[in-house]
Amino acid sequence: MCGRFFRHDVSWEDYRSALEIIVPEGVDPPEAKYNIAPMTWNPVIRRDIDTKKLELFPCLWGLVPSWWNKPLSEKKFSTFNARAESVHEAASFRGAFRHKRCLIPVSGFYEWMRNGNDKMPFAIGLRNRRWFCFAGLWDCTHIDGSEINTFTILTTTPNDVMAGIHTRMPVIIHPKDYMRWIDGDYRKLDDLFEPYPAAEMHAWPVDRKVGNVRNQGMDLIEEV
């Protein structure tokens, strides 16, 4: 699973160098955040349905499928992650998988390793890369007259770095596959679900205070 991640400052120039996204005039890029949790608003990179251009767009983490029209308080199923193996068939995700794929810009994520009754938090990132992208899905629904845009993060089996920490890891998309993930034939994307190469990743233990979502700041990713 992936239930917490962080993102350094990323400039518009950095985003443009990787993707030809629309840069809103007079708007600053998203600020750095170091303890991002489900049910918070975060930027995703998606293709606008009307203009067909790439944009950085705020969505709520925890996908609400387009067919859902009840109050969010009545939604009892978890959708902040989607298993890559079943995303093709799952009722909550299959429509978005076909038509509304997105990228979630991040600098790393957290996972907890269980040791008996204890759990130790780890930060995980890519070597020599300040930011990268998870594979995501987004969707839009209307509840009580309001439009709500939401997203989920795809997960897959762990690589050698993650195997000793957790049984799942996020699907990480290589930059060369960014546009393929967003625009490609959904029937020909399964190879992107392979665990990201372990040699390009590293993990390090961090302070337990990351477990409290109220704690923020770059000190959360310092090795302990």
Q: Which of 59, 102, 111, 133 is catalytic?
A: 111
Known catalytic membership, residue 111? yes
The Cα diameter of the chain in Å comes to: 52
Buried b (16+ CB within 10 A) or exposed e, 135-174: bbbbbebeeeeeeebbbbbbbbebbebbeebbebbbbbbe
Q: Which of 2, 59, 102, 133 is catalytic?
A: 2
* Residue 112: both structure tokens together: 């907890």
Known catalytic membership, residue 74? no
SS3 of 213, please? coil
Give dist(CA 34, CA 29) in Å, integer. Answer: 16
**Which residues face 54 on adjacent strands?**
21, 47
**Which residues face 109 on adjacent strands?**
5, 124
The catalytic site residues sit at 2, 111
